A and B are shown apart, each in its own frame.
Chain A
Amino acid sequence: MTLDITGLKVSIGGKDVLRGVDLRLQEGRVHGLAGESGSGKTMTGLAVLGLLPHGSRTSGSVTLGGRELLTMAPRELNKIRGGEVAMVFQDPATSLHPMLTIGKQITEHMRHHLGLGKREARARAVELLGKVRIPGAEEACGRYPHQFSGGMRQRVAIAVALACSPKVLIADEPTTALDVTVQAGVLRLLRGLCDELGLAVLLVTHDLGVMSAVADEVSVMRDGLVVETGPRGRVLREPSHPYTRSLLDSLPDAQIEEGGR
């Protein structure tokens, strides 16, 4: 299933945050969205699921398999959220509820969206935790987020996102809050899941090294606009927009080469 974003405009409190964004996510492909802080990357991700802060106005179009999400009734949109389009947030230390067990947080929306019973949901949670390589998945279900390391927490958050077999995954800076040593593992996991499950992934990051490691397509944003989009190899090696070039020039030389698959 494809997710098409066309002419997406968002203003918050009268300030234009997105000024006409066009993006296309396809199944089995990782679409990297790069740009500096405040360029509108995160807002693009949030706008897809209608999770923008209060007082924001949205126009344009976001369609999932032909259905328009921006004007969808809240009840219908709630079925898409978590069910067909899932999100992974930047900091797993704050995006998981500290007082609920991992098992609860993986199974609650499964039971709601898929109508699973307690035991089926539990079995699937254990399977998912195994899939994101959490050791001792069975007993991990009964533990709380603070009993895991940062990297493990983000794997849990990914398992939570995958629980209802979504078609689209929006990952907002999923490795930024993690130690460099565990970043690669999480990225490899995301890439593997994308290939295995045929997910359409939007990978939001300000880190071009991360981008070059896993993305198939790359879009570069600046001031609420996509200034350049295309296959990873072309955008990162022969950037046509001066802004992309300046972003690449600001990196240490070796990083792109090393990060490439």
Chain B
Amino acid sequence: MARTLPPLARFLIRRVITAILLAWGITLVTFVLTNLVPGDPVAANLGQRAMNDPAIVAQWRAEHGLDKPLWEQYGLYLQGMLQGDLGTSQQSHRPVAQDLAEFVPATLELAGAAILVSLVLGVAFGVLAALRRDRLPDHVLRVLSLIGISVPTFWLALVAFYVFFYRLQITPGSGRVDPALGMAPGVTGLQTVDALIAGRWDVFTSAVGHLITPALVLALYTIGLLTRFTRSAVLEVLGQDYVRAARAKGLPGRTVLFRYVLRSALVPVITVAGLAFGSLLSGTVLVEAIFAWPGIGQYAYKSATTLDLPAVMGVGLVVGVVYLVINLIVDVLYGVIDPRVRLQ
């Protein structure tokens, strides 16, 4: 049956199967790592007096399944996970899945907006720098991208907050939307999308306004990185024989740039963008804290400091799966752009 499928579909199926196996590996790793951490969840969650009462401790352990052997705990965890049950947070006393459903979309919206801005600006700047090599635009962009790469995110976040919100008062403050408007209800959890679906134009503009500063702060590093990478990738492709051959065919400069140069140059750029998304996610912890963005970064920090193991495992699982999805997207894009990958 597999023989009759088109190459791209076969390529996709292979990658998805690999991704599922990796996802299972992630559950194992998060589980083992979480349980290896020195620290007693009992001590972290029960008060001093309760700790001294063996009956209470035993009851608490039994309640959270901690009295069973580790492999059995893992089995139960997997079983629950397949039914959408990630355990109950010891802090919020709510199902972890419910907590995640609330916090993950906020982070995805922030990180998604940041990576989108990075790709558009980074690639555009990189192409411009390469085409105007060693001239003014190239020099200016070199300085700007180096600044973007070297400035620490938390400092930038504080300065941006101070300058644009406190001093100039041109951006809204913390949070995701103006509290007076209330959140738009919706299925995606992405405020901008939900507001559009609900037809709440006021909520949409407020959500975009709240998103701009933290997303730009988060994106600045990636913009700088992608500018540098795109520039060198484009310069390398410009020297290729097939670009000269395309010029010899009398194709317009636009066609040569988009069809011949960018197509090849995007392959390394996509690789870097995929990796950069990882560092972008870790950057959200700081940015969310400063802009009071109710995302998974804040949730992870709170869970880790209180040894809320089900919550920590849930966060680990989500972050791992996000990485997998990003890598899957990168792999698929390779296959779409480069026939040599998909026709192997």
Docked CA distance A100–B240 (Å): 15
Check: B167 CB closer than 8 A to any chain A CB: no
CB distance from A100 to the nearest CB of B (A): 7
Could you tell me the distance in whole angstroms from the C-beta of B129 to the nearest C-beta in chain A? 16
Segment among B146-154, B157-165, B243-251 that sits at the interface with chain A: B243-251
**Are B343 and A144 in contact, with the CB atoms below 8 A?**
yes
B contact residues around A101 at 8 Å (CB): 339
Q: Contacts of B10 on A, CB cut-off 8 Å?
A: none
Query: With an 8 A cutoff between CB atoms, is A82 at the interface?
Result: yes
| Residues in chain A near residue B337, CB distance under 8 A | 99
Decide: B250 and A94 in contact? CB cutoff 8 A: no
List of B residues within 8 angstroms of A83 by Cβ: 250
In the complex the two chains form, is B250's CB within 8 Å of A89's CB?
no
B250 touches A146 (CB 8 A): no
Segment 244-279 of B: residues with Cβ below 8 Å from A: 244-252, 255, 259-260, 263-264
Contact of A97 among B250, B260, B343 (CB under 8 A): B260
Q: Which of B222-256 contact A (CB under 8 A)?
A: 240-242, 244-252, 255
Partner of A113, one of B244, B250, B260, B339: B250
Chain B facing A: main interface SS? helix
Given A108-B255, A109-B251, do A98 and B340 touch, yes or no (CB 8 Å)? yes
Q: Spot the interface stretch: A56-64, A73-81, A214-222, A249-257.
A: A73-81
- Which residue, B241, B248, B263, B340, has most C-beta atoms of chain A within 10 A? B248
Which one, A91, A99, A109, contacts B249 given CB within 8 A?
A109
Which chain A residue shows the least CB distance to B339?
Answer: A144
Determine if A125 is an interface residue (Cβ-Cβ < 8 Å): no
Contacts of A80 in B (CB 8 A): 250
Residues of A contacting B250 in the complex (Cβ-Cβ under 8 angstroms): 78-83, 109, 112-113
Chain A CB within 10 Å, residue with most, of B246, B247, B250, B259: B250
- Decide: B242 and A87 in contact? CB cutoff 8 A: no
A91 to B242, CA, bound (A): 10
Contact residue among B252, B260, B264 (Cβ-Cβ distance under 8 Å from A112) = B252
- Complex Cα distance, B263 from A157, in Å, reads 20
Chain B min CB distance to A33 (Å): 17
Report whether A96 and B252 are in contact in the complex, using a CB–CB cutoff of 8 Å.
no
* B202: Cβ under 8 A from any A Cβ: no
A 104-138 binary contact with B (CB < 8 Å = 1; else 0): 00001100110000000000000000000000000
Roughly how many angstroms separate A94 CA and B260 CA in the complex, as a whole number? 12
Known: A87-B245, A146-B343. 9 other contacts (CB 8 A): A81-B248, A89-B241, A91-B241, A97-B260, A97-B263, A99-B338, A109-B249, A112-B255, A147-B343
A and B contact pairs by CB, cutoff 8 A, 23 listed: A51-B248, A78-B251, A79-B250, A81-B247, A83-B250, A86-B249, A87-B245, A89-B241, A89-B248, A90-B241, A91-B241, A94-B242, A95-B242, A95-B244, A96-B242, A96-B245, A97-B242, A97-B246, A98-B339, A108-B251, A108-B255, A144-B340, A146-B339
Residue ranges of A at the interface with B (Cβ–Cβ < 8 Å): 49, 51, 78-83, 86-87, 89-91, 94-101, 108-109, 112-113, 144, 146-147, 157, 160
Contacts from B to A (Cβ < 8 Å): 240-242, 244-252, 255, 259-260, 263-264, 337-340, 343
